[in-house]
């Protein structure tokens, strides 16, 4: 651990000497991870796709942030953006990403590459297509370990077996030489987690890690992540559209819509006192076992907006049942993210009393 921190200090010094001068207010934040006004735009023939448009959040070590939203809301683009995996030729990334005192958006590709895998790692949605079919699972873990650690193949192999054992793969000394297609879906995701954790990253981004898995395996994987987080004290960003997963694992929740944050708060805030009509919709469309089967789910009407041509004003207004209550303000002006309560932020034009009234009278009884 000590050696690793030395390395990082070196890089920080390098970084500060070569990095271009940022905006005047860009000072290193106190949080472990802080994202400020992140914008990720893709110029296309049809226009500018604003996948992420002004996203900010912080995350501390040992904590988990859940990012939820529909497909196309910018969740995955955000996570790839933090890892610097967008091709700089076709993505325009602006804003700031501070990881442990180092700014990543302005850093060189080489600097970010050195951090990738070692300080921040990612678990992907589909473990079968995310592992190279031609290499053994062990080879892929060894490869990840040896880029960032100057060790012999033998030592790395021992480490790989060790990691496979820690994520609960039986007889890891044998399975290490298996190919991904010889693993079951759950085992593959465990191997993927072993690979991501092989260098003890302090930030782990899990992009829908359980979507491709059986429900029984899902719970095991979530338990595993929780245990490993306790062991490694890493910060986790959990990206999902499954509110159950988020509730299970997260400390804070960020609800995304149309590339922006619409609600941000603790699990308690967002599940028990949600303020945004979109969050209400998400909660309403979640099936629950403690309700009568005869009660219908309440889906959100309409479809996610086009990121090229977002609706004017609040991006959610065409699908919002309460947009009319503002006398047209929702279609004219984009709502800012404001504190609804300390630490609980929401971007909605509805007056706070009105929102609380709707939640208490109309929404909560139906959930």
Partner 1 sequence: MIRYIIRRLLVAVLLLAIISLVTFGIFFLLPKLAGQSTDDLAARYLGREVTPEGLAGVKAKLGLDDPFLVRYWEFVQGMFVGQEYKFGTSITECPAPCLGYSYRTNEPVFDLLLDRAPVTFSIALGAAVLWLLAGVTIGVISALKRGSVFDRASMSAALAGVSLPMFFTGLVSIWLICRQLKLLPTPRYHEFLDNPATWAQALILPWITLAFLYAAMYARLTRAGMLETMGEDYIRTARAKGLPERTVITRHGLRSALTPIITIFGLDIGLLLGGAVITETTFSFAGLGQLMLQGITRSDLPVALGVTMATGLFVIVANLVVDILYAVADPRVRLA
State in angstroms the smallest separation of the CB of 147 from partner 1. Answer: 5
Residue 115 within binding range of partner 1, rule CB under 8 A? yes
Residue 115 or 163: the one with the smaller Cβ distance to partner 1 is 115
Environment class of residue 205 by beta-carbon count within 10 Å: exposed (0-12), middle (13-18) or buried (19+)? buried
x/- string (CB under 8 A) for partner 1, residues 189-208? ---x--x-------------
Site string for partner 1, 85-104 (x = CB under 8 A): x-------------------
Task: Lay out the site mask for partner 1 across 164-183 (x = CB under 8 A, - = otherwise).
Answer: ---------------x-x--
235 binds partner 1 (CB under 8 A): no
Single residue of 113, 166, 329, 334 touching partner 1 by CB under 8 A: 113
Which range of residues in 65-73, 118-126, 248-256, 351-359 is near partner 1 by CB under 8 A? Answer: 118-126
273 touching partner 1, by CB under 8 A = no
Nearer residue to partner 1 within complex by CB, 143 or 251 = 143
Contact call for residue 151 and partner 1 (CB under 8 A): no
Distance of CA 203 to the CA centre of its chain: 11
Least Cβ distance, residue 120 to partner 1 (angstroms)? 9
134 near partner 1, rule: CB under 8 A: yes
Q: How far is the CB of 273 from partner 1 (least distance, A)?
A: 36
Q: What angle do CA 50, 56, 58 make, to 5 degrees?
A: 145
Distance CA 300, CA 311 (A): 16
Q: Which residues pair with 38 in a beta bridge?
A: 55
According to the binding rule CB under 8 A, does residue 131 interact with partner 1? yes
Minimum distance, C-beta of residue 110 to partner 1, in the bound complex (Å): 8
Size of the site for partner 1 (CB under 8 A): 28
Binds partner 1 (CB under 8 A): choice among 121, 204, 228, 348? 121
Q: Please identify, among the stretches 7-15, 136-144, 246-254, 260-268, the one whose residues bind partner 1 according to the rule CB under 8 A.
A: 136-144
Verify binding: residue 159, partner 1, rule CB under 8 A.
Answer: no
| Interaction of residue 260 with partner 1, rule CB under 8 A | no
262 binds partner 1 (CB under 8 A): no
Restricting to residues 54-83, name those near partner 1 by CB under 8 A: 80, 83
Q: Phi and psi of 276, rounded to 5°?
A: -100, 135
Q: How far is the CB of 314 from partner 1 (least distance, A)?
A: 33
Q: Which of 295, 294, 302, 296 is nearest to 278 (CA)?
A: 302
42 binds partner 1 (CB under 8 A): no
Report the interface residues with partner 1, using CB under 8 A.
80, 83, 85, 113-118, 121-122, 124, 126, 129-134, 136, 143-144, 147-148, 179, 181, 192, 195
């Amino acid at each position: 651990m000590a050696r690793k921190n030395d390395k990082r200090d070196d890089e920080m010094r390098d970084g500060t000497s070569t990095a271009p001068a940022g905006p005047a207010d860009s000072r290193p934040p106190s949080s472990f991870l802080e994202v400020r006004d992140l914008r990720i735009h893709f110029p296309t023939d049809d226009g500018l796709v604003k996948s992420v448009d002004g996203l900010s959040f912080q995350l501390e070590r040992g904590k988990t942030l859940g990012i939820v939203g529909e497909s196309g809301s910018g969740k995955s683009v955000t996570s790839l953006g933090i890892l610097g995996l967008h091709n700089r030729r076709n993505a325009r990334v602006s804003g700031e990403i501070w990881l442990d005192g180092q700014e990543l958006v302005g850093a060189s590709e080489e600097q970010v590459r050195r951090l990738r895998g070692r300080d921040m790692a990612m678990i992907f949605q589909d473990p079968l297509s995310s592992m190279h079919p031609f290499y053994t699972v062990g080879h892929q873990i060894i490869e990840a370990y040896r880029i960032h650690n100057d060790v012999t193949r033998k030592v790395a192999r021992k480490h790989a077996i060790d990691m496979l054992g820690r994520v609960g793969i039986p007889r890891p000394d044998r399975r290490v030489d298996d190919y991904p297609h010889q693993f079951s879906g759950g085992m593959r995701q465990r191997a993927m987690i072993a690979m991501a954790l092989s260098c003890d990253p302090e930030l782990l981004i899990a992009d829908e890690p359980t979507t491709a898995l059986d429900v029984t395996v899902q719970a095991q994987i979530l338990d595993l992540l929780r245990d490993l987080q306790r062991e490694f004290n890493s910060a986790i960003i959990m990206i999902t559209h499954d509110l159950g997963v988020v509730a299970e694992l997260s400390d804070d929740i960020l609800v995304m819509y149309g590339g922006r944050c619409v609600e941000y708060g603790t699990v308690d805030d967002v599940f028990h006192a949600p303020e945004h009509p979109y969050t209400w919709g998400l909660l309403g469309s979640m099936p629950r076992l403690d309700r009568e089967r005869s009660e219908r789910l309440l889906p959100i009407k309409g479809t996610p907006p086009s990121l090229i041509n977002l609706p004017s004003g609040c991006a959610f207004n065409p699908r919002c049942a309460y947009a009319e209550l503002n006398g047209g303000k929702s279609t004219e002006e984009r709502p800012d993210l404001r504190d609804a309560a300390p630490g609980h932020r929401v971007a909605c034009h509805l007056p706070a009393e009105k929102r609380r009234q709707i939640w208490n009278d109309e929404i909560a009884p139906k959930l």
